[in-house]
């Protein structure tokens, strides 16, 4: 096929992008997004600060703008993200202990209920592990509510939307390392105790090289009985960019339980990584070598 989404679909996968509501009136941007991608993630509009700006008062207009556009154009939606230590609303930043725990679980329940039936996969918890080389949980106000906050979030999400795949999502998990192993051990524990988890998201914000065990790392998670997804792919521009995009694509295709790949933006000028030019389209919307490399790999 001649687009990323259609080619991925032929392999039983999806190919997605993050969309920013504020860019949707840009016809070049939305034209590329509509043509190439069949899975959509809201870049910021479904985060806690966006959806619950005041406690127990919910705001879905920006998230809906993206989700409704996606669905009316035949695309599926990844929900991102129910709980994360970053982009928490100010009121939640001021809570701790059981007040924060209750607010967090209420948030999960309300947002997942609102979007019930419309979400392919939810990032239920984002970035809860540290980069300390020991595979520990990140210190955060959520973590200080008790180590069971993650499983409590997954149980609440399952009750609210039994049809969505429930994912744990993180970065710096691109190979077999202390952080990815910490997450692996959590997923193994969840599966053994019946905590509802269906998938692990690998953000894959990559520099100019990638670990040689990228595919093996995906496979070891899949072997635990969860799906794996590449959720926020972007790769620093450099001599290797096109080859690395192909390598990530080939790794996903080689792992039966890899559902698909999402890139974190459309054009280089849309990227959160200013100056990295890490995406598949240049700032004018032209296909880059990396685009062709992905399409050929699919």
Contact residues toward ligand XIL (CB under 6 A) are 43-44, 126, 203, 232, 272
Measured CA angle at 49 (ends 45, 54), to 5 deg? 125
Q: How many helices (H) and strands (E) does the chain have?
A: 11, 9
Q: Which is nearer to ligand XIL, 19 or 252 (CB)?
A: 19
Q: Which is nearer to ligand XIL, 174 or 232 (CB)?
A: 232
Q: State in angstroms the smallest separation of the CB of 62 from ligand XIL.
A: 13
CB atoms within 10 A of CB 208: 13
Q: Which is nearer to ligand XIL, 7 or 17 (CB)?
A: 17
Is 293 strand, coil or helix? helix
Q: Are 278 and 238 in contact (CB under 8 A)?
A: no
Q: Are 230 and 262 in contact (CB under 8 A)?
A: yes
Residue whose tokens read 């053994």: 192
Q: Which is nearer to ligand XIL, 60 or 272 (CB)?
A: 272
Q: State in angstroms the smallest separation of the CB of 220 from ligand XIL.
A: 22
Q: Which is nearer to ligand XIL, 168 or 245 (CB)?
A: 168
Q: State in angstroms the smallest separation of the CB of 272 from ligand XIL.
A: 3
Q: Which residues, other chains included, contact 274 with Cβ-Cβ below 8 Å and sequence gap of 6+?
A: none
Q: What Cα–Cα distance (Å) separates residue 90 from each residue in 47, 49, 65, 273?
A: 13, 8, 24, 25
Is 228 strand, coil or helix? strand
Radius of gyration of the chain (CA): 18
Q: State in angstroms the smallest separation of the CB of 124 from ligand XIL.
A: 13
Q: Are 92 and 48 in contact (CB under 8 A)?
A: yes
Q: State in angstroms the smallest separation of the CB of 11 from ligand XIL.
A: 25
Q: Which is nearer to ligand XIL, 126 or 237 (CB)?
A: 126
Q: Which residue is nearest to ligand XIL (CB)?
A: 272
66 vs 69: CA distance, rounded Å = 5
- Residues found in the chain: 298
Q: Which residues have a catalytic role annotated?
A: 127, 232
231 vs 111: CA distance, rounded Å = 20
128 vs 35: CA distance, rounded Å = 34
Q: State in angstroms the smallest separation of the CB of 90 from ligand XIL.
A: 16
């Amino acid at each position: 096929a001649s687009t990323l989404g259609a080619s991925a679909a032929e392999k039983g996968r999806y190919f997605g992008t993050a969309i920013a509501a504020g860019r949707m009136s840009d016809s070049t941007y939305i034209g590329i997004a509509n043509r190439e991608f069949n899975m959509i993630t809201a870049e910021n509009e479904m985060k806690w600060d966006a959806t619950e700006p005041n406690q127990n008062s919910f705001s879905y207009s920006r998230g809906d703008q993206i989700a409704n556009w996606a669905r009316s154009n035949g695309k599926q939606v990844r929900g991102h993200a129910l709980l994360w230590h970053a982009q928490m609303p100010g009121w939640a930043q001021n809570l701790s202990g059981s007040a924060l725990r209750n607010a967090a679980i209420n948030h999960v329940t309300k947002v997942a209920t609102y979007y019930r039936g419309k979400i392919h996969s939810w990032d239920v918890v984002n970035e809860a592990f540290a980069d300390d080389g020991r595979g520990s949980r990140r210190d955060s106000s959520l973590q200080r509510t008790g180590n069971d906050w993650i499983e409590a979030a997954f149980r609440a999400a399952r009750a609210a939307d039994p049809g969505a795949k429930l994912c744990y999502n993180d970065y710096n998990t691109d190979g077999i390392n202390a952080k990815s192993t910490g997450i692996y051990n959590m997923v193994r524990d969840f599966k053994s105790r019946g905590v509802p988890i269906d998938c692990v998201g690998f953000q894959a914000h990559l520099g100019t090289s990638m670990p040689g065990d990228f595919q093996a790392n995906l496979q070891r998670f899949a072997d635990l009985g969860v799906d794996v997804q590449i959720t926020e792919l972007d790769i620093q521009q450099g001599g290797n960019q096109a080859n690395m995009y192909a390598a990530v694509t080939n790794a996903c295709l080689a792992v039966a339980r890899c559902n698909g790949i999402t890139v974190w933006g459309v054009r280089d000028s849309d990227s959160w990584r200013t100056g990295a030019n890490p995406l598949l389209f240049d700032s004018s919307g032209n296909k880059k070598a990396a685009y062709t490399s992905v399409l050929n790999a699919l």
